[in-house]
Amino acid sequence: MAPLRRPVLAANWKMNLGPTAASAFLESYLSHYAARDDRTVILFPSAIAFSSARHAAEARPDIQFGVQNVHSAEKGAFTGETSASMAQDAGARFVLIGHSERRHVFGETDALTAEKMSRVASQGLAPVLCVGEKFEERENGETNEVIVRQLRAAFEGLLENDASVLGTVVIAYEPVWAIGTGRTAHPEDASAAHAAIRAELSASAGSIGDSIPILYGGSVTALNASTLLAAPGVDGLLVGGASLDPESWAAICNA
Ligand code: PGA
């Protein structure tokens, strides 16, 4: 029997919701979402709103927090950057790595993604690794090739350092053409990509690979969340735009 993975609902706020807005968001969201022990909710505020958001959720230990990015170095002269240890000190448990905006807007390579994976892992934080193909790659039938390449590169960085951390990893399949476009993947296409990811995880990490949750992300809304969550192989959702409204995010978390 396939392992039962508890659904993960993750909100990526990107460069939205500053400290004041984040705190107001939490007040409203928490009144619409009561703690549930059958799912995990993770919020990824901006670095500058992180502490404010976390403070606003103090009474709700069921809400977990992560940061959207860290630098690959331990510390140093990197103006404007955040380190993994600073993120941990602020209360983060998760770190988004390899998000398509980091890869395709900021030019982060597979190699840098691998460095960040090992940095985050050695700090004891859980990497949420994003993988996904661009539109042309899907059109050319290269979807599985791209996601397997991204997974192998990222895990290489991890296995070299600390194999025990594999059990903390979360994967998010986010087809680039579906992010912020209103074009959601068909549930069957999401399932097919998730199956390819699962096969690769099982091959490279055995039974630990079987337990890694695989989230879908890309134009998820309160209207399509239940259908996507019900798709075979989809263990949760990573949500951008629709996570910025407290009621719509609460509806997704209750899906
Ligand atoms: P979206 O973003 O839900 O706005 O498409 C998802 C993501 O980039 O994580």
Q: Please report whether residue 166 resides in a domain.
A: yes
188 given a catalytic annotation: no
- Record the pTM: 0.96
Where the chain has pLDDT below 70, the residues are 1-4, 157, 159-163
Distant-in-sequence, close-in-space partners of 127: CB < 8 Å, separation ≥ 6: 94, 95, 97, 116, 117, 120, 121, 154, 158, 168, 169, 170
Q: Is 174 in the pocket of ligand 1 (CB under 6 A)?
A: yes
Q: Is 153 in the pocket of ligand 1 (CB under 6 A)?
A: no
Q: Please report whether residue 104 resides in a domain.
A: yes
* Cα angle, residue 98 at apex, residues 108 and 135 outer, rounded to 5°: 85
Q: Please report whether residue 74 resides in a domain.
A: no
Determine the pLDDT at residue 61. 97
Considering its fold, how many domains does the chain have in total?
Answer: 1
Q: Please report whether residue 175 resides in a domain.
A: yes
Q: Are 65 and 54 in contact (CB under 8 A)?
A: yes
Q: Is 217 in the pocket of ligand 1 (CB under 6 A)?
A: yes
Q: Is 184 in the pocket of ligand 1 (CB under 6 A)?
A: no
**Burial category of 74 from C-beta neighbours within 10 Å (exposed 0-12, middle 13-18, buried 19 and up):** exposed
Q: Are 174 and 217 in contact (CB under 8 A)?
A: yes
Determine the pLDDT at residue 1. 42
Q: Please report whether residue 107 resides in a domain.
A: yes
Please state, in angstroms and as integers, the Cα–Cα distance from residue 230 to each residue in 84, 154, 176, 238, following that order.
34, 28, 22, 15
Q: Which of 129, 130, 220 to mutate to test the pocket of ligand 1 (most atoms within 8 A of CB)?
A: 220
Return the ligand 1 atom nearest residue 12 CA.
9
Q: Is 238 in the pocket of ligand 1 (CB under 6 A)?
A: yes
Ligand 1, atom 9, lies closest to the CA of 240
User: What range does the domain containing 23 cover?
Assistant: 8-30+38-68+81-253
Q: Are 125 and 87 in contact (CB under 8 A)?
A: yes
Q: Please report whether residue 130 resides in a domain.
A: yes
Rg from Cα positions in the chain: 17
**Rounded Cα–Cα distance for residues 232 and 74 (Å):** 39
Q: Please report whether residue 73 resides in a domain.
A: no
Looking up residue 117, the CATH number of its domain turns out to be: 3.20.20.70
Count the neighbouring beta carbons within 10 Å of the beta carbon of residue 120.
30
174 given a catalytic annotation: yes
Q: Are 155 and 208 in contact (CB under 8 A)?
A: no
Q: How far is the CA of 128 from the centre of ligand 1 (A)?
A: 14
Q: Please report whether residue 3 resides in a domain.
A: no
